[in-house]
Amino acid sequence: MSVNEVYVFRPFKLIALLCVFLALCLDIVALLSPAWVTADRFYLSLWEACTESEATITYSRWSCTSTLTSDWQIATLVLLLSGAAVTLVAFLIALISLCRGTHRQHYRTVAVFLFTAVVLQACALVLYPIKFIDGAVLQTYHEFNWGYGLGWGATIFMLGGGILFCLRTDMYEDAMY
């Protein structure tokens, strides 16, 4: 590089890798979250549904049952786990590609993996409230809680990472800069 040349560093791929890492972290927390749906004396996660029995003055008793008996809840869990697995593969490919210096060879593959994960996650996150409300599990006020919101947050970060991996920054790196 001569004295008159300027190198412009565009960290889009590093930001994309950070987005994918955040999506993976949010996805794991959402999968393990106990609070997907909450109501008065009731909460529902991807793994169990718990109700509080009549409480005495000193303690309350929670009884929990597995949600893996309902086919729509199993389908939601499988879609979310598949999306998380695809995101993990995309993250590993992107990390190895960035570390080895083979930048442009695998970016499209990573972007396709991330868009696939977005579709899987979005299907699960749309299926969950539709089937929950259709099943009329609760006859009282209920709300979708932070675990469900983290699932959407992970999906948004996956989409952002996929878009950033699709950007072609090499065509801007010419003599003009």
In a domain, 138, yes or no: yes
pLDDT in 10s for each residue of the chain, 177 residues: 555 665 455 688 889 899 999 999 999 999 998 888 887 777 888 888 888 777 655 666 778 888 788 888 899 999 999 999 999 999 999 888 888 776 667 888 899 999 999 999 999 999 988 888 877 555 667 788 888 999 999 999 999 999 998 887 655 544 443
In a domain, 75, yes or no: yes
CATH number at residue 75: 1.20.140.150
Q: Give me the residue label for tokens 């996956």.
A: 158
Query: Can you tell me the distance from the alpha carbon of 84 to that of 23, in angstroms, rounded to the nearest whole number?
Result: 9
Both tokens assigned to 36: 């997907």
In a domain, 103, yes or no: yes
Give the CA angle between residues 167, 153, 120 to the nearest 5°: 75
Both tokens assigned to 174: 């010419």
Rg (CA), the chain: 22
**Number of structural domains found in the chain:** 1
In a domain, 127, yes or no: yes
Count other Cβ atoms within 10 Å, centred on residue 134.
Answer: 9
Query: Can you tell me the distance from the alpha carbon of 33 to that of 22, in angstroms, rounded to the nearest whole number?
Result: 16
In a domain, 53, yes or no: no
**Strands, E, within the chain: which ranges?**
37-39, 42-44, 48-52, 62-66, 142-144
Query: Can you tell me the distance from the alpha carbon of 159 to that of 29, in angstroms, rounded to the nearest whole number?
Result: 18
Range of the structural domain that residue 158 is part of: 12-35+70-171
In a domain, 22, yes or no: yes
Which residue type sits at 87? T
Helices 71-100 & 12-32, crossing angle to 10 degrees? 150
In a domain, 24, yes or no: yes
pTM recorded for the entire structure: 0.81
Residues found in the chain:
177
In a domain, 6, yes or no: no
